[in-house]
Amino acid sequence: RTMTIKDFSETSETSYRCEGRTGSVTETSELTLGYVGVKISGDTAVSEGKPFSIVCTMKTAAGYTPNLKLFKDKAQVSAILNNEEGTLTFEKAEADFDDAGNYECSVTFSKEDANPVTAKDSKSLAVYGFSTPPQGVIKKKETGTVITLTCKVTQAEEVTIMWYKDAQTNALSDNVTPETFANSISGSTITIDTN
């Protein structure tokens, strides 16, 4: 007879036993199944210049030696390994646009009497910010100057960009003319006319 365990997961980790009977003789065979795996957590979006982190957490079974690695766009990233907690952490105090990309945790579990087992999990990180002017600083210009600001978003599959002025809670929209400026909005770009 065969027993099939569908969607084997951490909760399936236990001992299984099968018994075979022939007349008055019973034969028993026991097997302990261990779950090994990895999960990725952390930020999925961050503003340029803000801190972010990506954490790989692994689950290993007794007797297996794990080799945990973190990749960004298929290139290995240097990260801090904590063997006691089973984590690998990548942290950065200030995100820049180059940090956007696909991050993947990969762990290979080795055991002397078994083939290696590899588990992977991934997530994307988007970075938001202004592409011009640098750090949002605009020098004083003569009246009548038109300034164009572009909000840069990297690695986002779907994004909606909203523009706000000062502490306003309502987003700006095309053809709205507050007392201090007129604006034209096209997706990630806003044009401010200082007339």
Give residue-wise pLDDT tens across range 100-141: 889 999 999 888 887 888 889 999 998 887 655 444 445 555
The pLDDT of residue 166? 67
Structure tokens at 62: 């007794």
Burial grade of 161 (CB within 10 A; 0-12, 13-18, 19 or more): middle
The pLDDT of residue 54? 95
**Neighbouring C-beta atoms of residue 105, cutoff 10 Å:** 27
What radius of gyration, in Å, describes the C-alpha atoms of the chain? 27
Note whether 86 and 57 are within 8 A (CB). yes
The pLDDT of residue 30? 78
Residue with tokens 């930020």: 43
Query: What b/e sequence results for 67-81 when a residue is b if at least 16 CB atoms lie within 10 Å of its CB, and e otherwise?
Result: ebbbbbeeeeeebee
Its pTM stands at 0.64
The pLDDT of residue 93? 94
The pLDDT of residue 182? 43
153 backbone dihedrals φ, ψ, rounded to 5°? -130, 125
Structure tokens at 74: 């298929």
Note whether 68 and 40 are within 8 A (CB). no
Which residues of the chain are modeled with pLDDT < 50? 133-137, 174-185, 194-195
The pLDDT of residue 78? 93
Note whether 72 and 96 are within 8 A (CB). no
Listed in sequence order, the residues at least 6 apart from 106 whose beta carbon sits closer than 8 Å to its beta carbon are 38, 68, 69, 70, 71, 118, 119, 120
First and final CA of the chain: distance in angstroms? Answer: 83
The pLDDT of residue 183? 46
